[in-house]
Structure 1
């Protein structure tokens, strides 16, 4: 018979008994301590748990559950790493299993929160059931594998059991120096076979998307790491392609960012785009999966990218990774149910309170983006935290798939909740929470085994398990070996989302039953960030009106602005929208106007003066000039003026005045709707000061001149008559 040993700590000194007695007597006093005071020891325990000298992981487990039989074997594989600065020798990795089954989802949730050094199972030390590890140098990692005969797992009752491994060094034969834990359900067929448990997995295809001020995708090394073969996003596609009846929840902002990377990550495009293009509706109907030609950059786009200056090494690496990922995406989505999230997966509760119109814009952009890619999808929302406040619930679309967590409801949770006609499919918060520590709760095995554990506890209830995988989920390195045990479990019925909830009628709930924690309210995107996003959208509209031949830049900037309101932006430390707004504002302000130092009108009734418009952009623009003056000065606005790229143009503006004073006109460059772009110049204007007096003097002078001429002519005539009289001439 195999010898089993409990995981144990070193024996306690007897003095601790006295301490325990004192603490018991002082318990009422200790209960009055503040939560802050009590938090310090807990934090210290967590820090101790993280200092295990041997870091152990479970990377493969060739079964998802046990049955009532005692035949067969279980193979477990993983890694052990030496985290110390000393060499470790004589390390063995032993499997262990719990004694008592967990039978409720609530108990499972409590078990997942137990500290890593809690006593949860019995170690199996039978010869051949453990793995022997060679000497481990500091920082060295070793891959181990062990096979456990089913007969060495003494569990017979249905429920969920602890399962995992302990790594022990030669000098510590009783206390684990490293550990990895997960859950392993035992599912027994009753006398009357129960129906298979419907399990619907929803895999969110979304990621934090941040753009630089010039419109190029930011943080390229992170994108390359995630998109390349073996990266997290690539492994997600491989796993999704293997998983039966999977439902994808796709954020089109992710697809657009990857396509931008595949094109070489160019900056925002201001070049002409108003050339006629083929209507996608005329070229073919939409399909459930995209075509490779729609996803990958067009040959012309690639040629344009190649014609530009050579990209950086980072951009080239990201381009290669993005191209490979897009090629893999087609196969991953093919044949699966696809849900379409609002563009950039915006913070629904924040927008519902601050700007519902922005949410409508996000939905419109999703429809446009997926139509261009030929992807047919159902409109949906799936907040990563699982929560929506009442205002966000009121904005849910009829006919859309709305996924929320069971944590959002007080008391028993229905399969489908209905609040005043707004239907929500309820997902499992336990399944999304992942596995227990000390391992990453969102690693592949932790998430899979928590899923099957929750499904096993639901079996026979008549309720399906709907699970929205956590965003931080780490897909397996080998998708086929990961999915195979899932598909072999006869008691699991992999179902699409519509199949899983079919036959379940919505249950009416009241607003009082909803929960929206304060931490959610504090985490929401701020109203200031939403305001900045709207300002950026307005600047994008203005830039498009200014560019003579570009009719797409406003949509591009709208998409960029939406990414700054996403759930992932809650964790952002920089405001990308503010940086982009400054950048676009500088581009608009590069269209300038120059005026004379001063203008003197020849008449108060009217005159003209010359101004010069300059376009420093590399694209042609169409603008107008407006003038801001007081009531005594009037300057006529100009008609729309077209300027070529990097060019200047001069023309005259008409002005008139009501008095003889000096007045200042502010000449402003605007778009065709009269919105100021930023360029401006001021000019003082006054009429000529001599105009009225000069005309008086001129008139008087003319009168005197004509009078003198008349007097002189009269004298000459009189003198001539007098001369004739004196000579006798009549």
Structure 2
């Protein structure tokens, strides 16, 4: 009731249409209920959507009352009375990672993440609400970084020293992770790149994009494999960050949708449907259009508001199809990822939106299987949004290059490559637009740490004879003395040996916890890889 601008229609002043709240002190709240007879709402009976508002009027201490409302709220009442064909109705539920790592390698605010996934928390409420809706109408949009972050929290990994959590305190994180995976596996799952990368920055730096995109893909794929989750890959640019060049860069194989707002497609109309086919310079790809309304630009404030928005969009789609037989209008709602439905979300009865005769729950994957209408209109050539800087991408590229060097000199490097890929993806997260110095500092810390690991590696070789041995003699060496051919000459030399000080421990290497247990012998001259050699 905080929006005093929410003024709808003609104020109803009949007796009994008011609720007396009594005196309210500053910041005090009270619940109320108003019952207004249907005939007083002025609904004519014509099919459509009727806005209905509630306003708060206040009497001052001196008894004076202003006709201007102090607060108000608006809801929508759809009316479809005839027998109409039901329209596809779908809700997309985003689950994004709200936290990030610091230069110390620990999470910045794991306490906030724990509150969010615990009973009554924002992410927990969002997941519970999504799970209460019919399976056909819901699609999960999962950020793999959230799976990793919640798993780390549940197992006490990468937490600041000052945060000590018992197993019982960490239990809500484990429960949330299990429930989120269950929901995503039993419903349609769409998957973002790890930590929602800044796709606009990648598109505007094509000379740096390929190795960085490979790292993002590796980070995403390995997390999905670890948690046995499959889903359609999608990208989600920011509201003002969609350009024709970006859409071309995201084309890929042509089956990965890009989520855009209707403002990015100025010639889009609801009759085209929420999923349309756009032909970029590299070929066609599907676009999912989020038609943001001015009244809910910040997301629905209540579950009732969300339910009525879903129903109203469906009602308008029904009427659109009745007028235009070629119309593909539907009802699609993208939930605000930061919206908290509240602990009393069940009272909003969101499931009722899928039980009326004019809605038909449909997953977004099912909508992709139909023939999509083509969008042939304009797309912005430049973005209003300011992407991550090229400097940030260059630092991420440095991590990729140094990581490749480190991976080439250690055995069992798969886990190292996976960790480095996640770090590269995290450096490219769109979140750093709001903290550009922090993103640069994190990228620099990752690069410095890998460089420090490389500095610990030294190359040792037996002293070379003054007179090179004949090639025949080289061939007759004992099998216990491995040899290598140099890239710049034809003579054979004893294999080099990589070592580090202090001696490597037998533990598996991970950034920041010591050195690798084994190395692969590598020629410093030619760059060729020889057979494995244990140091």
Q: TM-score, normalised by structure 1?
A: 0.56
Shift of 1:147: 3.1
Contact kept? 1:239, 1:475, Cα under 8 Å: yes
Instruction: State which drifts further: 639-648 or 571-580.
Output: 639-648
Q: Structure 2: how far apart are the matches of 1:592 and 1:178?
A: 72
Match status 1:425 vs 2:313: no
Match of 2:37 among 139, 149, 157: 149
Deviations 1:416-469 (A, max 9, x none): 1230532223323225x6627xxx644234444444333333323331233332
Shift of 1:250: 1.3
1:474 corresponds to which residue? Answer: 340
| Corresponding residue of 1:219 | 109
Q: d(CA) in 1 for partners of 2:110 and 2:523?
A: 38
SS at match of 1:248: strand
| Whole-angstrom distance in 1 between the partners of 2:284 and 2:183 | 31
Q: 1:384 to 1:310 in 2, by over 3 A?
A: closer
In the alignment, which residue of structure 2 is the partner of 1:538?
401
Could you tell me how far apart the structure 1 residues matched to 2:399 and 2:292 are? Answer: 39
Q: How much does 1:184 deviate?
A: 0.6
Mark the runs of 5 or more structure 2 residues left unpaired by the alignment: 321-326, 461-465, 468-492, 506-519, 526-535
Distance 1:326 1:454, change over 3 A: same
Q: Cα distance, 1:125 vs. partner?
A: 4.2
- Residue 264 of structure 1 deviates from its aligned partner by 0.4
Q: Aligned pair in 2 of structure 1 residues 223, 499: CA closer, same or farther (>3 Å)?
A: same
Distance 1:505 1:549 in 2: 46
493-502 or 256-265: which moved more?
A: 493-502
Displacement after TM superposition at 1:543 (Å): 4.2
Deviates more, 1:249-258 or 1:213-222: 213-222
**What is aligned with 1:167?**
56
Q: Which residue of 1 aligns with 2:425?
A: 562
Report the secondary structure of 2:392's partner residue: helix
For residues 479 and 458 of structure 1, what CA distance do their matches in structure 2 show?
Answer: 26
The superposition leaves residues 536-590 of structure 1 with CA deviations (integer Å, 9 ceiling, x where unpaired) of 2333344445556664123112202212212223222411222332344344445
**What per-residue deviation string (whole Å, max 9, x for no partner) do you get for residues 30-78 of structure 1?**
xxxxxxxxxxxxxxxxxxxxxxxxxx36xxxxxxxxxxxxxxxxxxxxx
Higher strand content, 1 or 2: 1
Matched residue SS, 2:30: strand
In structure 1, what is the Cα distance between the partners aligned to 2:521 and 2:53? Answer: 67
1:576-633 deviation per Cα after TM superposition (whole angstroms, max 9, x unaligned):
2223323443444456899xxxxxxxxxx79xxxxxxxxxxxxxxxxxxxxxxxxxxx
CA positional deviation for 1:386: 7.5
Per-residue CA deviations over 1:221-269 (Å, capped at 9, x if unaligned) read 32123211111111111111112220112121211111111110237xx
Give SS of 1:142's match: coil
User: Which runs of 5 or more residues in structure 1 are unaligned?
Assistant: 1-55, 58-114, 268-308, 595-604, 607-635, 649-669, 676-730
Question: Among residues 482, 498, 522, which one is paired with 1:641 in the alignment?
Answer: 498
Q: What is the distance in 2 between the residues matched to 1:429 and 1:457?
A: 13
Task: Report the Cα distance in structure 1 between the residues aligned to 2:227 and 2:18, rounded to whole angstroms.
Answer: 51
Normalised to the residue count of structure 2, the TM-score between the two structures is 0.74
2:391 is paired with a residue whose SS is helix
- 1:475 positional shift: 2.8
The Cα shift of 1:406 comes to: 2.5
Contact 2:196 2:430 in 1 (8 A): yes
Match of 1:403 in 2: 259
Q: Pick from 195, 201, 212 the counterpart of residue 350 of structure 1.
A: 201
Work out which of the residue numbers 358, 369, 376 in structure 2 matches 1:509.
376
Which residue number in structure 2 is paired with residue 323 of structure 1?
174
Work out whether 1:578 is the aligned partner of 2:444. yes
Check the 8 A contact 2:21/2:32 in 1, yes or no.
yes
C-alpha contact 2:4 2:70 (8 A) present in aligned 1: no
1:518 paired to 2:408 = no
* Pair 1:321–1:447, CA change in 2 (3 A): same
Structure 1 residues 451 and 401 mapped into 2: Cα distance closer, same or farther (>3 Å)? same
Deviations 1:648-693 (A, max 9, x none): 9xxxxxxxxxxxxxxxxxxxxx994649xxxxxxxxxxxxxxxxxx
> What CA deviation, in whole Å up to 9, does each residue of 1:124-151 have, x standing for no partner?
3444443332433333222333333323
Output the CA distance in 2 between the equivalents of 1:366 and 1:477: 32
Partner of 2:316: 457
Report the Cα distance in structure 1 between the residues aligned to 2:31 and 2:408, rounded to whole angstroms.
61
Q: Please identify the structure whose Cα radius of gyration is greater.
A: 1
| Matching residue within 147, 150, 155 for 1:258 | 150
Cα distance in 1 between the residues matched to 2:215 and 2:229: 19
- 2:27 matched residue in structure 1: 139
Deviations 1:467-511 (A, max 9, x none): 33233333343343321332343322221113345543341626x
Q: Distance in 1 between matches of 2:301 and 2:524?
A: 56
Summarize the Cα distance change of 1:562–1:391 in structure 2 as closer, same or farther, 3 Å threshold: same
Q: Separation in 2 of the partners of 1:199 and 1:407?
A: 21
Match in the other structure for 1:435: 296
* Conserved 8 A contact 1:203-1:247: yes
Answer yes or no: is the 8 Å Cα contact 1:214–1:583 preserved in 2. no
CA contact (8 A) 2:154 2:170 kept: yes
Deviation at 1:407, TM superposition (A): 2.1
Q: Specify the alignment match of 1:236 in structure 2.
A: 126
Alignment partners' CA distance in 2, 1:542 and 1:315: 39
CA RMSD across the alignment:
3.7
Match of 1:484 in 2: 351
The structure 2 residue matched to 1:201, chosen from 77, 81, 91, is 91
